[in-house]
Structure 1
């Protein structure tokens, strides 16, 4: 699913070097896809500890997962473990900033999806860890060629959907964004429901992501305007 024909970044680990243990950050409605960027504002003590540990690791990876219950990550005790979806995405910390009031502001770069094989005991800092299975998503780290068959129509459908949700998007410069980067960014930014975003995460590839996005937009009352494929 990783966008574009370009190789991984110079600081990204290779598939063989992925960690066998991964800290997870359960966060409702936060979608990270391979090749995407996700800004995070971290302030809870357990997740501050998680970020510190990740920054000290050679790969700087954090696994983003969604709780199954959309309200489960609110007002929890530190030792409570809400059930989470079994598929998440490992993201590498590519930038971070310490704020004067004790927060971390991060940007994660999506690297590869994973399926939770096993949950480990809590880390000393109070955050959760899992044994990830990357194998079903090994293609996320491979090179891909992707092109929308009808980019103007995809943008028109997206724009109509955003209107139905009373959401706004800065369209300036969007013409210069590559198709793969566009699909990943719009999938992450679209105001879809948590379960809908999880469906996008679990799509096998970007072609399926486009199909799923259009289907979800139609659920929200947007017509696709024909039967032609968009990819």
Structure 2
């Protein structure tokens, strides 16, 4: 078993391979993580692990209710269990921070390599690459790190036929959610035909609870994920059709995560 160690970025959302994740980073522990990524050689990948939170807080708890001079909880594991492994789901996604832009105190030039005392946060654009299984978590440094095992993506049996069915079901779901006719949807030929890409795109674009998305991320293979998506899409489409009104399609777009 080949393992590696990566910085961890816990979120209240699930990242899928091939999907883009915008991040608005302001906490000290995650600023430290970004500084270390910026120290990597120019042009090299800047990988970190995105793991969904099972039980805990995406940002450290505030000091509400404490005296004004009291320090809020701090440290790499703030907001999580004493053993952070208990706070996270088992499977996550490696992300590559392709763009990192610093936000600085007024009057300072925007430079991602500026001294930390001049930086109030970072705006990051990251892309999911591969899935991983989280084996252990270390909270001893300025931010969480994890020992991870990369997970291969197996096609499984009948993935191609399932992908076609999922795309048809997804377009019906879009139509029901948007309350629009087919002419307002993207032409079928613009949708991907690779089963694994279809499975991740649909998983990310469908309005589901985090636990449902997590179950899709950690599916044993592409075919299993697609079969579950087909069931969920049919279920959600039937539910939406019975509602007096549905959210606009813009709500399928994930917001920037605040950290």
Q: What TM-score do the two structures reach when normalised by structure 1?
A: 0.69
User: What is the alpha-carbon distance in structure 2 between the residues aligned to residue 37 and residue 175 of structure 1?
Assistant: 22
> What's the secondary structure of 1:78's corresponding residue?
coil
Q: Of 191, 204, 208, which aligns to 2:224?
A: 208
Residue in 1 aligned with 2:99?
95
The 3-state SS of whatever aligns with 2:204 is helix
Greater radius of gyration (CA): 2
Alpha-carbon shift at residue 222 of structure 1 (Å): 2.6
Aligned equivalents of 2:160 and 2:218: distance in 1?
18
Equivalent pair of 1:96/1:106 in contact (CA under 8 Å)? yes
Counterpart position of 2:209: 193
State the match for 1:60 in structure 2: 46
The aligned residue for residue 174 of structure 2 is 159
Q: Cα offset for 1:158?
A: 2.8
Counterpart CA distance in 2 for 1:160 and 1:97 is 37
Q: Which residue of structure 2 lines up, in the alignment, with residue 73 of structure 1?
A: 58
Alignment partners' CA distance in 2, 1:194 and 1:215: 17
Match of 1:12 in 2: none
CA distance in 2, matches of 1:74, 1:25: 11
Contact 2:167 2:198 in 1 (8 A): no
Q: Return the offset for 1:210.
A: 2.0
Tell me what 1:22 maps to: 6
Q: For structure 2, which runs of at least 5 residues remain unmatched after alignment?
A: 62-72, 82-86, 106-119, 240-259
Q: 1:177 aligns with which of 167, 191, 196?
A: 191
CA distance in 1, matches of 2:222, 2:207: 19
Q: Figure out how many residues of one structure are paired with residues of the other and give that number.
A: 191
Report if the CA contact (8 A) 2:8-2:144 is conserved. Answer: yes
Q: Does 1:44 align with 2:27?
A: yes
In 2, distance between residues paired with 1:112 and 1:156? 26
- Please report the TM-score for the alignment, with normalisation by the length of structure 2: 0.62
Residue by residue over 1:40-80, the C-alpha shift from the partner in whole angstroms, topping out at 9 and shown as x without a partner, is: 221222111111212323541110011112x5324433332
Counterpart for residue 8 of structure 1: none
CA RMSD of the aligned region, Å?
Answer: 3.0
Report the equivalent of 1:228.
Answer: none
Q: How far apart, in 1, do the equivalents of 2:186 and 2:237 lie?
A: 26
In the aligned structure 1, how far is the partner of 2:176 from the partner of 2:147? 38
